[in-house]
Amino acid sequence: MRVTGHPMGRLLGYVDIKVASRVYKLPIEAAPLEPGQESTVKPGFFSQGPESFGILVDSNAPEGEQRETVERASVEAEKFISRKFLN
């Protein structure tokens, strides 16, 4: 698995996603996301390419909202990785 990120992002840490017997470390990045603009960059889980995954949060959002984004994105990542590598 390769780690890529948002060009304006700042690394906050990693979250471990366990799928079967493997553990995947996904980077959590914070980047300024402008509300109301038509952007393809949305907070949450993202995948770029076949093995590039991560979680993006809005650096302007309150800490509680960032935590909720990480929790929701972790569940999405677990489902995505399970489908991709176990099927």
At 34 the pLDDT is 75
pLDDT for the residue numbered 40: 67
Q: Give dist(CA 30, CA 67) in Å, integer.
A: 11
Torsion of CA 2, 3, 6, 12, to 10 degrees: 170
Residue numbers in the chain where pLDDT is lower than 50: 1-3
> In the prediction, which pLDDT does 2 show?
44
C-alpha span between 5 and 77 (Å, rounded): 15
Could you count the other beta carbons within 10 Å of the beta carbon of residue 34?
A: 10
> What's the pLDDT at 28?
94
